[in-house]
Structure 1
Amino acid sequence: MLFLQVLITFIVPLVSAQCVPWSTPGTCTPSSSSCTFYNCLENKSNCGPTGYALGFALPFCDAITTASTSLSTNGQAWYSATKYCLQNALTTEASCQTSCQDIYTNAFASHIPCYIDSGFCTLNGHDLKIFFQIVGVNGTVSNDGLALFGAVLQQCMALYQNGDVSGGWVEWLYKTLNGDI
């Protein structure tokens, strides 16, 4: 066990410190008010229309930005914080040469904590309706979409059970799933 701890202590920083910068100059800067980070990421990674930046993030980011004025004050705060969090989670991928698959995998791994930490579980029904109209059926029934949505719901249910979230759609869902409604 001690050998493993020593190995992790000395090797992990060496591995994680190795960053080969993209050949495209410039820095991709996360923003809570813009979706241009994804254009910058695409310019560096060249993953194309099926990659994370152009195939997923940018279309949804642009669509939700357009609809954000229809969100409640809480919904707008959630969206702004989530937009920044999702972009910020990819700053390493935007700085260091990373495969398209790793960008995609790392991006999706950031969705659950970004959604939850930004307050997804506290959105009202109107905000959820707008969100799901934008994400649509295709966004929730793909394998990644289902896994993401299921994990977000699971986290919201856990927050409700712990008393960290009360009322709203989370309470309704919890009571429905438990046969209380």
Structure 2
Amino acid sequence: MPLIVYSEYVACLSDPSSLFQCNPGGTKICRYGPCTYGCCGTFDGRSYCCKDSKCTGCPPGQWYKKTTAVSSPISSSTSLADTSCNNPVSNSCDFYIKCLDNKFKCGPNGYPIKYGDKNCKKFINAMNKFSSDGKKWVTKTMTCLQKSLVSSYRNDKTTCQEINDIAFSSHASCYVNSGVCLLPLTDWGLILHTVDCEDLFLGPAFMQAISTITECTKLYAFLIKNYVCQLK
């Protein structure tokens, strides 16, 4: 029977004066006496006094990784979940919430939920409005954007800010390499209609990237004329 390692992330309220770096379920005495729900050690070497049984109330970024190894048969659902997180499925947006946000808990204002999942679903829902080449572009681009974050998903020390930075830096290359500059005018219009202006999917970095590419000359001119909100 194989050994399966389950990782669980918990967060607790800071107790910077604690004498101990306590593990969940272990020693429950912090500097000023026992915590009702115990202490959790973190990577910064301090302990945190839990506010409730779910260990909520932790300052942003203070996480403790508790790893438990048990012998268990690998279920088909577990195997499939692990596979989809390490190799995102085409025409699916599951990676953002079921993988990234489930692991790193970036929350409603983090990239996985606020930008990735939201815009991925918008493109998937608008898929049938695109031309044949446009449909292929949507699939390639959405897959590229997710795969650009797989290495971040695999790294347990990745921060939500790093996910945000890496994701946005991948937008221009994923769009261009998937063939956005070769799409018909109608598809360009659909892209502008689908993506929220404030989401920066076609921001200055994208404009700078396509301004020097010969095959993107027409798209660049089109965006200059029709997408002024990102060029101010």
Give the TM-score normalised by structure 2: 0.56
Residue number in structure 2 paired with 1:53: 112
Residue number in structure 1 paired with 2:160: 100
Q: 1:173 to 1:94 in 2, by over 3 A?
A: closer
> Runs of at least 4 residues of structure 1 off by over 4 A?
170-174
1:158 aligned residue (212, 217, 220):
212
Residue number in structure 1 paired with 2:190: 130
Name the one with the larger strand percent.
Answer: 2
Q: Secondary structure at the match of 2:124?
A: helix
Give me the whole-angstrom Cα distance separating, in 2, the residues matched to 1:156 and 1:123.
14
Residue number in structure 1 paired with 2:7: 23
Residue number in structure 2 paired with 1:37: 95
Q: 1:166 to 1:129 in 2, by over 3 A?
A: closer
Query: How many residues are treated as equivalent by the alignment?
Result: 145
The alpha carbon displacement at 1:171 in A equals: 6.0
After the TM superposition, which of the residue ranges 70-79 and 130-139 deviates more from structure 2?
Answer: 130-139
Residue number in structure 1 paired with 2:131: 72
Give me the whole-angstrom Cα distance separating, in 1, the residues matched to 2:216 and 2:162.
36
Q: Is the 8 A contact 1:86 1:111 kept in 2?
A: yes
2:176 aligned residue (92, 116, 133):
116
Give the TM-score normalised by structure 1: 0.70
Give me the whole-angstrom Cα distance separating, in 2, the residues matched to 1:22 and 1:83.
29
The alpha carbon displacement at 1:131 in A equals: 1.2
The alpha carbon displacement at 1:128 in A equals: 1.6
Percent identity, aligned pairs only, is: 33
Q: 1:96 to 1:74 in 2, by over 3 A?
A: same
For the aligned residue pairs, the C-alpha RMSD in angstroms reads 2.6
Name the one with the larger helix percent.
Answer: 1
Q: Is the 8 A contact 1:31 1:87 kept in 2?
A: no
**Aligned residue type for 1:153:** M
- Superposed CA offset, 1:116-135 (max 9, x none): 11111122221122111121
**Aligned residue type for 2:185:** G
- Superposed CA offset, 1:121-172 (max 9, x none): 1222211221111213322xxxxx28x5223223323222xxxx17754466
Give me the whole-angstrom Cα distance separating, in 2, the residues matched to 1:83 and 1:109.
14
Unmatched runs of 5 consecutive residues or more in structure 1: 1-20, 140-144, 175-181
Greater relative CO (CA pairs within 8 A, separation 6+): 1
Unmatched runs of 5 consecutive residues or more in structure 2: 9-77, 225-232
Residue number in structure 2 paired with 1:14: none
Q: Is the 8 A contact 2:130 2:187 kept in 1?
A: yes
